[in-house]
Amino acid sequence: MSRLPHAKAKLTFLSRAEGGRKSTPPADMLRSFQYRPHIVIGDPRQRERREDILSRAQLIYEGDGEYLGVVFSDVDRELKEGEEVTVELVFMYSPRVTYRDAVPGATFTLREGARIVGFGEILEVSEKEVRRANPVISYAN
C-alpha cells in the first residue's frame, strides 16, 4: 500500500450552456478512480473563455494557473449540473508534483483540457492508504 494526499472538496459542475460537459459523469465513475481531470487553484469566478484570447497550447502552458492532476475517488451522491456535491480527490502525481496551494479554503476550477467544467473549494486535505493494485499508483510512483 502507498499513502497519497486526498482532498475533500465541494464541487459544482457547470451546465453545457455555461461551457461545461454535455452530461455530468455518473457517480460510479467518480467512485472508481476513473475520472481524471485537472484542478487549477484560483478564483473560480474567473471563468471567461481564455481560449478566445490564447491558443490551446498557450492556455495550458502559459494560462491562468498550474494544472494539477487529480483522480476522483468518492462523491456523496449522484450529480446534477449546477448542484453542489462533496467529492474526494486524490493528488495522483504527488510527490513529483507539488500541490502546495491545494489547501483547505483554496478555490479552484475543474478542467478537462482547456475547458472549465466546474468549480469548487477544498475543505480538508489528508493522507490515505491506496492499494497497490489501484491504477493511480502507476502515476504516483
52-73: pLDDT as tens digits: 544 544 444 445 678 999 999 9
E strand or H helix that includes residue 36: none
Number of domains observed in the structure of the chain? 1
Output the pLDDT for position 133: 42
Q: Are 50 and 63 in contact (CB under 8 A)?
A: yes
Sign of the CA dihedral running 30, 33, 36, 40: positive
Cα–Cα distance measured from residue 16 to residue 10, given in angstroms and rounded to the nearest whole number: 20
User: What is the per-residue pLDDT across 3-53, written as a single tens digit (0 to 9) for each?
Assistant: 889 999 999 999 888 888 999 999 999 999 999 999 999 888 765 545 554
pLDDT recorded at residue 105? 97
Structural domain that includes position 49: 2-140
The whole model's pTM is what?
Answer: 0.80
CATH number assigned to the domain comprising residue 28:
2.40.30.10
- Identity at 60, one-letter amino acid code: I
